[in-house]
Chain A
């Protein structure tokens, strides 16, 4: 009976934890929806902001965010694919493999604000690129590099060895095998990784707030070397005027928009992953 009682108590404990966790988590979604929905209408989505964000819309913030993550994806993609091919097809030494893995995981773990100060020192100051959105794209590309690399690596690595061997036996060179046999599959992994990475990058504030953005009075950039305004930095600016109800309302509207973009990218990643799931394991 004693053991049975303990079992019951344990089950209750897990139930309490679950109820608490779900309450918290649903509260979060609820708050964002509840406060965000009243702020959003067509004008909000299509107009420029004015009065330091307290009135007007967020069209340039959306454009700035999308532009920046789009370019970060473009910068990241070739490097990630190259690294993934190297890891999967060229690297034989187990030790080197472990070292590269450690480096990739370390890069993934670096706090976002560190990327920000790194970008500030190297690109903005030493290389003199100034506060510009392309610096932001480069930094975000570095941040999502591990995610994209590993996702690509896993999809290439899951192709059974027999495909490589039979292609080589037909007289294809190593590079031809990579291009014709491995890359088509690796590409779907890369896209999945990119979507996940972009979902994360678009919400980042700390890495870009001192290197790529201006808080107000910014329209669509006409060159690489201009700052833009983005959704997360816009929310930050508005959050700091939280005593002004108009500013707060727009902050919630921008938040809901940002979450919507994140969810869109995440769900596309999920759908893409399910669609292109590799059946075979190496």
Chain B
């Protein structure tokens, strides 16, 4: 309830950038490994934030901390704070399941459930509220159109989702997440196992989606970040090297490491 009212207050503020998520001094250890080392970043509302960095830099751990999907990883310790809409989500009384309906997530490899295409789209939302048959159909159509999958699958909504191509499956996963109507969507390298065409389709979709959603997008592909990012976060070896508006960072990075990485994809840290 409190978050609802906060949300409406925030929307009054309007066009000026508002940070929907704030990470303050976030440390994460997995067993003895210090994966994230005191990260302070902001995620601006209704923007695409890209997190870049070499592999092993902690990009995935960072994004997975935001909806606490990391909680169940064996031997994990988290310290610091994450604020979402002004309140901390790392408290012990946070209802994690309902948090995850507000902060949705799409994973690296598409994961469709062994059910039909239609059931997959409705999978998350049907737990949140009762929908009539017509509402369900409308929702399925609307979400599949948003991810431009409707034309390809409208005649076979009851087919098994596993029969789709990998690129189609990933778009279906995005539609499934959209159906829950989260405020934030986290995407963890969603295009890394896809062909170039599907990758482009998803990038275009992201640019459209930021009107309604806040998008956090992990990628190891600098060109991709350049094409879609509004805000850029550069991690290396578990540390935040630089963050800022994408345009500024790409044109004149403040940090020499950032400069080297953006130019040669090489990071000496």
Interface size class of A (residues with CB under 8 A): under 10
**Chain B residue nearest in CB terms to A3:** B127
Residues of B100-157 contacting chain A, CB below 8 A: 127
Complex interface: chain B residues within 8 A of A7 (CB):
97
Smallest CB–CB gap between B71 and chain A, Å? 15
Interface size class of B (residues with CB under 8 A): under 10
Q: Does B95 contact A (CB under 8 A)?
A: yes
Complex interface: chain A residues within 8 A of B127 (CB):
3
Q: Does A93 contact B (CB under 8 A)?
A: no
Smallest CB–CB gap between A195 and chain B, Å? 30
Instruction: Tell me the dominant secondary structure on chain A's binding face.
Output: helix
Mark contacts of B71-111 with chain A using CB atoms, 8 A cut-off: 1 yes-contact digit, 0 otherwise: 00000000000000000000000010100000000000000
Q: How far is the CA of A7 from the CA of B97 in the complex (A)?
A: 11
Complex interface: chain B residues within 8 A of A3 (CB):
97, 127
Q: Does A4 contact B (CB under 8 A)?
A: yes
Mark contacts of B10-22 with chain A using CB atoms, 8 A cut-off: 1 yes-contact digit, 0 otherwise: 0000000000000
Q: How far is the CA of A228 from the CA of B177 in the complex (A)?
A: 69
**Chain A residue nearest in CB terms to B95:** A4
Complex interface: chain A residues within 8 A of B95 (CB):
4
Smallest CB–CB gap between A8 and chain B, Å? 12
Instruction: Tell me the dominant secondary structure on chain B's binding face.
Output: helix
**Chain A residue nearest in CB terms to B128:** A3
Q: How far is the CA of A4 from the CA of B95 in the complex (A)?
A: 9
Complex interface: chain B residues within 8 A of A4 (CB):
95, 97
Smallest CB–CB gap between A11 and chain B, Å? 13
Smallest CB–CB gap between A96 and chain B, Å? 30
Residues of B14-69 contacting chain A, CB below 8 A: none
Complex interface: chain A residues within 8 A of B97 (CB):
3-4, 7
Q: How far is the CA of A3 from the CA of B126 in the complex (A)?
A: 12
Smallest CB–CB gap between A67 and chain B, Å? 46
Q: How far is the CA of A3 from the CA of B95 in the complex (A)?
A: 11
**Chain B residue nearest in CB terms to A4:** B95
Smallest CB–CB gap between A222 and chain B, Å? 58
**Chain A residue nearest in CB terms to B127:** A3
Mark contacts of A1-21 with chain B using CB atoms, 8 A cut-off: 1 yes-contact digit, 0 otherwise: 001100100000000000000
Q: How far is the CA of A146 from the CA of B127 in the complex (A)?
A: 46
Smallest CB–CB gap between A140 and chain B, Å? 42
Smallest CB–CB gap between B227 and chain A, Å? 39
Smallest CB–CB gap between A91 and chain B, Å? 30
Q: How far is the CA of A3 from the CA of B127 in the complex (A)?
A: 8
**Chain B residue nearest in CB terms to A1:** B95
Q: How far is the CA of A127 from the CA of B97 in the complex (A)?
A: 69
Smallest CB–CB gap between B247 and chain A, Å? 43
Q: How far is the CA of A4 from the CA of B94 in the complex (A)?
A: 12
Q: How far is the CA of A14 from the CA of B230 in the complex (A)?
A: 47
Smallest CB–CB gap between A252 and chain B, Å? 41
Q: How far is the CA of A3 from the CA of B97 in the complex (A)?
A: 10
Mark contacts of B158-198 with chain A using CB atoms, 8 A cut-off: 1 yes-contact digit, 0 otherwise: 00000000000000000000000000000000000000000
Q: How far is the CA of A163 from the CA of B76 in the complex (A)?
A: 40
Smallest CB–CB gap between B27 and chain A, Å? 29
Smallest CB–CB gap between B157 and chain A, Å? 27
Smallest CB–CB gap between B178 and chain A, Å? 21
Smallest CB–CB gap between B151 and chain A, Å? 35
Smallest CB–CB gap between A179 and chain B, Å? 42
Q: How far is the CA of A202 from the CA of B97 in the complex (A)?
A: 51
Q: How far is the CA of A7 from the CA of B95 in the complex (A)?
A: 12
Residues of A1-55 contacting chain B, CB below 8 A: 3-4, 7
Q: How far is the CA of A4 from the CA of B127 in the complex (A)?
A: 11
Q: How far is the CA of A40 from the CA of B97 in the complex (A)?
A: 56
**Chain B residue nearest in CB terms to A7:** B97
Smallest CB–CB gap between B128 and chain A, Å? 9
Smallest CB–CB gap between B231 and chain A, Å? 34
Q: How far is the CA of A4 from the CA of B97 in the complex (A)?
A: 9
Q: How far is the CA of A31 from the CA of B95 in the complex (A)?
A: 44
Q: How far is the CA of A7 from the CA of B98 in the complex (A)?
A: 13
Smallest CB–CB gap between B165 and chain A, Å? 27
Q: How far is the CA of A7 from the CA of B96 in the complex (A)?
A: 12
Q: Jot down 5 A-B pairs with beta carbons below 8 A, ordered by A.
A: A3-B97, A3-B127, A4-B95, A4-B97, A7-B97
B: residues with CB less than 8 A from A are: 95, 97, 127
Leading 5 A-B pairs by shortest Cβ distance: A4-B95, A3-B127, A3-B97, A4-B97, A7-B97
